[in-house]
A and B are shown apart, each in its own frame.
Chain A
Amino acid sequence: MSTLNPTVAGTATTAPRSSGSGPRKTREGQRKKVSNVVYSVIAVIVFAASAFPVYWMINSSFLPTNMIRSTDLTFFPGSSFTIDNYKNAIFNQERAPFLPALGNSVLVTFFVLIVSMVLAFLASLAVTRFNFKGRKAFIIAILAVQMIPGEAMMISIFRIIDGWQLLNSIIGLGIVYLSGVLPFTIWTLRGFVAGVPAELEEAAMIDGCSRAKAFWRITFPLLAPGLVATGVFAFIQAWNEFVMALIIMTRPESMTLPLWLRTFQQATQATNWGGLMAGSVLIAIPVVIFFLIVQGRMTGGLVSGAVKG
């Protein structure tokens, strides 16, 4: 079964096309052509519908205020192209400043990324390479914990972080995020570790490697795709997270980027949509780039690791 399946999966998309005999083929071929056109049109509509908000965000971010506040729609900045919104978003001193928020976001994201990768690697080795009492309980706990909504926990998490005097600190927020991403990263990485044959480690150990060295030299490099996929997940989570930051980072100077973005909307004045769109672009750029780089692995990983039939 296991040797057959990959080839079967490979032919799945191409196989149906070879069906039918001669005359039937042409009639079917014509119908196929018509339906191909219909499908392509639908594809273009789907693309437009999914991408429109992103396009509109970028478009608006390069328009001067008078063209944003206008009853005429501008679909392309053209000659009125301006980066004033970006300057305003980054350098305006009336709101919480951009650069410290960027710094906070980068710090907390890297903290979560690195620590979660290390911890998840160790934990996933434990649950895939060893048989011990409590292993099943741990895996069930990991699955169950992911279902607990953060919104339900925010009050007690706030109290704990407050009690440790860690409000408004990168470490405080980082630990909260870490506990949020760890179950998923362990679970996903576990699928990838299981994909690396234990025989490789055993062979290395027969050749004189210590067990730790076998993990590090043999298994770890083979996990690169898994580490990238889970790392990107941790990165995106920490970079985007908003609810916990809202309750833990209460001072203006300790804001992360999502909180900074919210300061554009003040009850006292009309929303600065141009600046807000520029801010949104700035926040979205790293996420979109990382996402696009690993997208194939993301879905592959989700099917084989997390969701996996």
Chain B
Amino acid sequence: MSSSTLESSPAVELKDTLKPPKKRSSKLPWLLLAPSLLVLAIMVGYPLVNLFIMSFQKYERAQLMGVPAEWVGFQNYTDTLTDPVFWTVLARSFAFMVVCVFLTMAIGILLALLMMRLNKFFRLLVSIGLLLAWAMPALAAVIVWGWIFDTQYGVVNNVLTKITGDNWMGHSWLINPLMFYIVAALIIVWQSVPFVAFTMYAGLTQVPGEVLEAASLDGATPAQRFRLIMVPYVRSIIVVLIILSIIWDLRVFTQIFVLQGIGGIAEKTNTIGVYIYQMGMAQGHYGTASAIAVILVFIMMGISYYYVRQTVKEEEL
């Protein structure tokens, strides 16, 4: 119990079970870790080093075939950082991420609060709906949404035609980059809200009932009860959820990539992950793509630094 934030954390009771380990031994733990370390070293460590090296080389299709790669210093980085396309893609990815994270968190928290007020039946109903959305494989989900927004026979165009009386049949949602992003955000928020809602709900049910009761006897409005009592209890959960959402939404790939395949214009709708794929795997500029990837890794590390630090601190490692 090193810090004051821990005292108010809903997971305090877990702290006692996560006491620092007792046994001291030098060989046995490494033996137990060895297989995992081996896999991670080969499949994460080595590719990471490789990526870093490649980002300083002129690496194109020919080099993949065995032509020795030439060192070019920071050329790939200067090329990338002076390329307006890179900045556009980066800004677009961040803007998209901010919208998705905000909507996901807002809707997720509201649903958690809703679930606390529902009786058993309706709570189960909401849970089932959310679970279905959460459980859908991302690829299948994008395809289904693609069908819902289909230009020719999609249910959205159909219903809009019936409601407004205008002819929406044949209206393409994905060809306009802004609408493309609205559809993509809808898919992502639809699938990420359940995780936030369930986690928040689990956290909120741990807020002591006496405290809430005392607050409402003292005349606190529901909004005040939420802001002044619930939020401090679940602050660390909210922070972690925001950081995880930022990371997941910034590296979004499947949704954008598949929607582009269904009918978007790739150049105008690339996010950073898809851009790396286009630059590297599709066009064969592996060196430049590696430089972009290294930049992305640094951005991700920067964002997750707080999360990692906080987690390590709270675990009292």
Which residues on the A side are within 8 Å of B304 (C-beta)? 143-144, 147
Contacts of A151 in B (CB 8 A): 251, 253, 272-274, 276-277, 293, 296
Docked-complex contact B140 and A51, CB < 8 angstroms: no
Q: How far is the CB of B68 from chain A (nearest CB, A)?
A: 14
Q: Which residues of B contact A182 (CB under 8 A)?
A: 36, 39-40
Residues 158-197 of A, flagged 1 when their CB comes within 8 A of B and 0 if not, give 1110100000000000011011001100100001001101
Q: A52-79: contact bitstring with B at CB < 8 Å (1 yes, 0 no)?
A: 0110110010000000111101000000
A132-B30, A152-B293, A176-B43 as given contacts; A39 in contact with B139, CB under 8 Å: no
* Contact of A155 with B281 at beta-carbon distance under 8 Å, contacts A6-B13, A131-B24 already known: yes
Which of these binds chain B: A86-94, A96-104, A219-227, A296-304?
Answer: A296-304
Q: Tell me which of B17, B32, B147, B207 contacts A194 (CB under 8 A).
A: B17
A51 and B22 contacting across the interface, CB-CB below 8 Å: no
Mark out the residues of chain A between 21 and 70 whose CB falls within 8 Å of any chain B CB in the assembled complex.
Answer: 35-36, 39-40, 42-44, 46-51, 53-54, 56-57, 60, 68-70
The answer to whether A114 has its CB under 8 Å from any CB of chain B is: no
Residue in A44, A49, A149 whose beta carbon sits within 8 Å of that of B251 in the complex: A149
Residues in A neighbouring B195, C-beta threshold 8 A: 302
Query: How far does the alpha carbon of A43 sit from the alpha carbon of B121 in the complex, in Å?
Result: 10
Q: Would you give the shortest CB distance from A245 to chain B, in whole angstroms?
A: 10
Output the residue of A50, A194, A280, A302 with the most chain B CB within 10 A.
A50
A132 proximity list for chain B (CB < 8 A) = 24-26, 29-30
**Of B134, B207, B286, B300, the contact of A155 (CB 8 Å cutoff):** B286
Contact A303 B46 (CB under 8 A): no
Q: Is the CB of A60 within 8 A of B280?
A: no
- Whether the pair A157, B317 counts as a contact (CB closer than 8 A) is no
B150: chain A residues at CB < 8 Å are 271, 273
Q: How far is the CB of B284 from chain A (nearest CB, A)?
A: 10
Q: Answer whether residue A203 sits at the interface, using C-beta atoms and an 8 A cutoff.
A: no
Q: Is A153 an interface residue (CB 8 A)?
A: yes
| Known pairs A125-B32, A152-B296, A300-B202; A159 contacts B122 (CB<8 A) | no
A27 to chain B, nearest CB (A): 15
Chain B nearest Cβ from A74, distance in angstroms: 10
**1/0 contact string of B5-45 vs chain A (CB within 8 Å):** 00001111111111011111110111011011101101110
Residue B166 at the A interface, CB < 8 A?
no
List A residues 137-156 near B (Cβ within 8 Å): 138-141, 143-145, 147-156
Kindly state the separation between the CA atoms of A8 and B11 in the bound complex, as whole angstroms. Answer: 12
A43 to B132, CA, bound (A): 15
A186 and B202 in contact (CB under 8 A), knowing A152-B297, A283-B137? no
Indicate if B141 sits at the interface (CB-CB under 8 A): yes
The answer to whether A243 has its CB under 8 Å from any CB of chain B is yes
Distance from A216 Cβ to chain B, minimum over Cβ atoms (Å): 13
Inter-chain contact A130/B29, CB cutoff 8 Å? yes
Contact of A50 with B155 at beta-carbon distance under 8 Å, contacts A151-B276, A155-B281 already known: no
Shortest distance in angstroms between A23's beta carbon and chain B's nearest beta carbon? 16
Chain A residues whose C-beta falls within 8 Å of the C-beta of B301 in the assembled complex: 144, 147-148
Q: Which residues of B contact A36 (CB under 8 A)?
A: 117, 119
Q: State which of B23, B47, B205 has its C-beta within 8 Å of the C-beta of A153.
A: B47
Question: For A46, what are the chain B residues with a Cβ–Cβ distance below 8 Å?
Answer: 111, 114, 126, 129-130
Inter-chain contacts of B203 with A (CB < 8 A)? 303, 309
- List of A residues within 8 angstroms of B198 by Cβ: 299, 302
CB distance from A71 to the nearest CB of B (A): 7
Q: Does B51 contact A (CB under 8 A)?
A: yes
Known contacts: A53-B190, A151-B276. The answer to whether A157 contacts B47 by CB under 8 A is yes
Once the chains bind, are A309 and B141 in contact (CB under 8 Å)?
Answer: no
Bound complex: CA A70 to CA B154 (Å) = 10
Residues of chain A lying within 8 A (CB to CB) of residue B111: 46
Question: With an 8 A cutoff between CB atoms, is B224 at the interface?
Answer: no
Q: Tell me which residues across on chain B come within 8 A of A150, comparing CB atoms.
A: 251, 253
A302 partner residues in chain B, CB cutoff 8 A = 195, 198-199, 202
Measured between alpha carbons, how far is A178 from B308 in the docked complex, in Å? 22
- 13 of the cross-chain contacts (CB-CB < 8 Å) are A8-B208, A19-B217, A40-B119, A43-B118, A126-B32, A140-B308, A144-B301, A265-B262, A284-B137, A291-B135, A302-B202, A307-B240, A309-B314
Binding site for A on B (CB under 8 A): 9-18, 20-26, 28-30, 32-33, 35-37, 39-40, 42-44, 46-48, 50-51, 54, 64, 111, 114, 116-119, 122-123, 125-141, 143-145, 147-148, 150, 152-153, 155, 158-159, 169, 190, 193-195, 198-199, 201-203, 205-210, 212-213, 216-217, 234, 236-237, 240-241, 244, 247, 250-251, 253-254, 257-258, 261-262, 272-274, 276-277, 280-281, 286, 289-290, 293-294, 296-297, 300-301, 303-304, 307-308, 311-312, 314-315, 317
With A151-B274, A280-B137 given, name 5 new contacts (CB 8 A): A18-B213, A149-B296, A151-B253, A194-B17, A236-B137
